[in-house]
């Protein structure tokens, strides 16, 4: 019997390797775990593979993962972090995938970020297609709830530049309305279940933003759940506390009847 695929989508300033612990844990539970990289990053999506000049925009990113999700005989679970969480919501709202988990997701549907968070998404400078963070900036924006030594280890292993075009596309900068791929159908009653997760000390996507997104789903009959993790920042999927988040997701999937090996005809 085919295993249920789980497609992990990484976020800005990180690369696909940031899901390595999750992929191992989900595979150990019997799921077919995959963490494909963003387009224009090469097949391995490793840290040594630099993005193409100009980077990637949100439309290309969304289309890339929609194609991957549709390629399976068994509908996958889609788990995204940060920008990946935005993509996961867009896809499940379009009936792509069996279920979705959006962890510290970049805001959908033009929802505004607080000024303090918006400034982190819009670093100064112009013209450079790729936006890098220094170790200090990485700790401030992503890893603010861990100590400096752990933040430095995370930076060394997982950090990578983010395409400036993508940062603009997710509507965290002032200006044009967000593209269609930054929207999620919050009224689709026929979609699969969705879990939103926030870290209550997240500076890049504050807990208040994720709660505001959750409220947008309030009138929808489809399952939408919210889990808030106290004392956790934007790095909650890759820092030393990742296991508690991953295990909550595994339990949530099981509670909604989503197994590693689906029932015949499921």
Q: Give the residue-averaged pLDDT of 27-55.
A: 68
Query: What pLDDT does residue 91 have?
Result: 98
Inside any domain, residue 30? yes
Quote the domain boundaries for residue 136: 5-255
Inside any domain, residue 265? no
CATH of the domain at 178: 3.40.50.1820
Query: What pLDDT does residue 265 have?
Result: 59
Contact, 28 vs 100, CB < 8 A? no
Inside any domain, residue 73? yes
Inside any domain, residue 190? yes
Inside any domain, residue 264? no
Q: What is the Rg, in whole angstroms, of the alpha carbon atoms belonging to the chain?
A: 17
Inside any domain, residue 263? no
3-state secondary structure 211-238: HHHHHHCCCCCCCEEEEEECCCCCCCCC
Sign (positive or negative) of CA dihedral 107, 110, 114, 120:
positive
209 pLDDT higher than 80: yes
Query: What pLDDT does residue 55 have?
Result: 64
Inside any domain, residue 261? no
**What DSSP string runs through the chain?**
-PPPEEEEE--TTB-GGGGHHHHHHHHHTT-EEE-PPPTTS-TT--TTSPPPTT---HHHHHHHHHHHHHTSSSPPEEEEETHHHHHHHHHHHTT-SSEEEEESPPP-TTPPPPHHHHHHHS-S--S-SEE---HHHHHHHT-TTS-HHHHHHHHHHHB--EEHHHHHHTT-SSSSPPPGGG---TT-TTSPPEEEEEETT-SSS-HHHHHHHHHHTTT-SS-EEEEEETT--TTTTTSTTHHHHHHHHHHHHHHTT--SSPPTT-
Number of domains, the chain: 1
Alpha carbons 56 and 16: distance in angstroms, whole number = 15
Share of residues in the chain with pLDDT > 70 (%)? 88
237 pLDDT higher than 80: yes
Q: Give the residue-averaged pLDDT of 62-71.
A: 96
Contact, 55 vs 169, CB < 8 A? no
Band of pLDDT at residue 119, cut at 50, 70 and 90 = confident
Inside any domain, residue 266? no
Alpha carbons 28 and 22: distance in angstroms, whole number = 10
Query: What pLDDT does residue 124 have?
Result: 66
């Amino acid at each position: 019997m085919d295993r249920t695929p789980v497609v992990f989508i990484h976020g800005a300033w990180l690369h696909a390797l940031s899901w390595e612990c999750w992929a191992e844990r989900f595979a150990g539970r019997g799921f077919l775990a995959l963490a494909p990289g963003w387009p224009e990053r090469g097949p391995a999506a490793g840290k040594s593979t630099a993005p193409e000049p100009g980077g990637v925009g949100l439309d290309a990113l969304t289309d890339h993962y929609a194609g991957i999700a549709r390629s399976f005989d068994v509908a996958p679970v889609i788990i995204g972090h940060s920008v990946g969480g935005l993509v996961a919501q867009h896809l499940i709202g379009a009936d792509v995938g069996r279920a979705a988990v959006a962890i510290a997701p970049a805001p959908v549907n033009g929802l505004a970020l607080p000024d303090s968070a918006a400034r982190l998404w819009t670093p100064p400078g112009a013209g450079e297609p790729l936006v890098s963070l220094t170790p200090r900036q990485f700790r401030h924006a992503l890893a603010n709830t861990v100590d400096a030594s752990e933040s430095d280890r995370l930076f060394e292993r997982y950090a990578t530049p983010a395409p400036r075009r993508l940062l603009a596309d997710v509507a965290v900068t002032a200006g044009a309305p967000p593209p269609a791929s930054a929207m999620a159908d919050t009224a689709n009653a026929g979609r699969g279940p969705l879990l939103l997760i926030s870290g209550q000390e997240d500076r890049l996507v504050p807990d208040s933003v994720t709660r505001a997104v959750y409220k947008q789903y309030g009138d929808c009959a489809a399952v939408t759940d919210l889990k808030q993790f106290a004392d956790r920042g934007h790095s909650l999927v890759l820092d030393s506390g990742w296991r508690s988040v991953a295990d909550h997701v595994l339990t949530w999937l099981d509670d909604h009847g989503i197994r590693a090996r689906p029932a015949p005809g499921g």
